[in-house]
Amino acid sequence: MTENKIRKFYIETYGCQMNFSDSEIVASILTDGGFQASGNLQEADIVLLNTCSIREHAEDRVRKRLHYFRSLKKKNPGLTIGLLGCMAERTKFALMEEEQLLDVIAGPDSYRHLPGLLEQAGSGQRAIDTILSADETYADINPVRLDSNGISSFISIMRGCENFCSYCVVPYARGQERSRDPETVIRESRDLFIQGYREVTLLGQNVNSYFWKEGNETVNFPGLLERIAVLDPQLRVRFATSHPKDLSLEVIEIIEKYPNICKAIHLPVQSGSDKILDKMNRKYTREEYLGKIRTIRSKIPGCAISTDIITGFCDETEEDHKQTLELMKEAAFDFAFTFKYSERPQTIAAEQYEDNVPAPVKERRLREIIELQQELSSASNHRDLGETFEVLIEGESKRSDKQYFGRNSQNKVMVFPKTSLKPGEYVKVKVKRVTSATLIGEAI
């Protein structure tokens, strides 16, 4: 390596949208620090894995990937390997001890120090920084858009979480909740629009508790949503994730008011049983949750509602499981992310409860939940037959170069024959056929 060679970095991202957004922040910090982004693993001098700890499965995937990197490092001993994100924060020195190939470990609030940590690792000293911050929001960082389609983009508006759901590592891995200066969010949204982007998704672990105060001025989540919605009617706004206890009537009314705020709400319920919700420390009851669903359905007809469900949590009985299935039917979810409970170290559930639902029972309950959700999703898609939606064209369909794909406001994928319009433009599409995952139509 010559002295002045610019070192190239390659980032692999695991887990949630927040992590993808963080990888863009990391790319920006490293680019400013004199490193160069590369989309090619084989030519990289530095490989960074931005990891997720939310489920055991997510960590297992990273560990498997590290085995592969071990072989790469054998061929190229100069390769620097870094672990970022929640798994780095959770495991700290332990993983570095275990995985001798790791040169750098950086937690979610340490990314500004990455150039220095990588320099240190480049000179042969392993480097670690997992100090959590009470105020880091990376508000001033202009993210480098990685793997971007140039049409939709994520914007982090807050970091951390203080809800302490008993099964969740996030409050430990990402620290306390803090919101980003609204002016920086508005500026980033405006810049993206000027560059041709037509959709932004505002991200946070719990966006509804977004709150900014400076002097006498305060901005809450509906206020921020409104300020972005008015930038331009051609800019679609989405957000994720909402905690049911914090989804206010004010937010629902703002979504209803602006056509460019997408009619899709992700509202993780996790369980339909009050006993389990209490044990999960979710801070709402089944009835309160269903009340919010009824409000959304009455105020915003046609709004898609998706959810997350965890099955097999500690002490979950058949009766609790049945209540989850019944709640799913009553809520008529359009889509659901479904998981088997897996114990995460350091959480309240791991320390205080017994993971006592046998694996085959968890698997069977998960199957029943998935089967029911497939019926609900199919019914939701069939309700769209004959309807016309405004679709933001995202690109060519993977199946045919004669077709476009895009999404409607409800976040459903729609496929239709190409028109003279281009990706990034809006088109009205009438639904002619549906599959379990896609609406197939024609531009009108």
What residues line the site for ligand SF4 (CB under 6 A)? 161, 163-165, 168, 170-171, 205-206, 243
* In the complex, minimum distance from the CB of residue 20 to ligand SF4, in angstroms, rounded to a whole number: 16
Phi, psi of 87 (to 5 degrees): -70, -35
Nearest CA to 53 out of 350, 437, 293 is that of 350
Helical ranges in 308-391 per DSSP H: 318-331, 348-352, 359-383
CB 39 within 8 Å of CB 10: yes
- By beta-carbon proximity to ligand SF4, the closer residue of 55 and 113 is 55
* In the complex, minimum distance from the CB of residue 161 to ligand SF4, in angstroms, rounded to a whole number: 3
* In the complex, minimum distance from the CB of residue 163 to ligand SF4, in angstroms, rounded to a whole number: 4
* In the complex, minimum distance from the CB of residue 299 to ligand SF4, in angstroms, rounded to a whole number: 24
Max Cα–Cα distance, the chain, nearest Å: 67
- By beta-carbon proximity to ligand SF4, the closer residue of 127 and 170 is 170
* In the complex, minimum distance from the CB of residue 13 to ligand SF4, in angstroms, rounded to a whole number: 18
Phi, psi of 128 (to 5 degrees): -140, 135
- Burial label for 134, CB within 10 Å (0-12, 13-18, 19+), is exposed
Instruction: Give the rounded distance of the alpha carbon of 375 from its chain centre.
Output: 25
- By beta-carbon proximity to ligand SF4, the closer residue of 235 and 305 is 305
- By beta-carbon proximity to ligand SF4, the closer residue of 209 and 408 is 209
CA distances from 348 to 98, 163, 172, 206, 217 (A): 25, 12, 11, 19, 37
* In the complex, minimum distance from the CB of residue 355 to ligand SF4, in angstroms, rounded to a whole number: 17
* In the complex, minimum distance from the CB of residue 176 to ligand SF4, in angstroms, rounded to a whole number: 11
- By beta-carbon proximity to ligand SF4, the closer residue of 240 and 440 is 240
Torsion of CA 158, 164, 170, 176, to 10 degrees: 40
CB 255 within 8 Å of CB 301: no
d(CA 121, CA 103): 6
Strand ranges (E), 35-107: 36-37, 46-51, 80-84, 104-106
**Residue whose pair of structure tokens reads 């392993």 in the numeric block:** 126
**What DSSP character marks residue 219?**
E
| CA 55, 61, 67, 72 torsion-angle sign | negative
Residues 6+ apart with CB under 8 A from 63: none
- By beta-carbon proximity to ligand SF4, the closer residue of 170 and 336 is 170
- Tokens, residue 110: 């340490």
- By beta-carbon proximity to ligand SF4, the closer residue of 81 and 269 is 269
- By beta-carbon proximity to ligand SF4, the closer residue of 152 and 205 is 205
* In the complex, minimum distance from the CB of residue 31 to ligand SF4, in angstroms, rounded to a whole number: 29
- By beta-carbon proximity to ligand SF4, the closer residue of 15 and 171 is 171
- By beta-carbon proximity to ligand SF4, the closer residue of 170 and 229 is 170
* In the complex, minimum distance from the CB of residue 370 to ligand SF4, in angstroms, rounded to a whole number: 21
- Helix, strand, coil content of the chain in percent (nearest 5): 40, 25, 40
* In the complex, minimum distance from the CB of residue 333 to ligand SF4, in angstroms, rounded to a whole number: 18
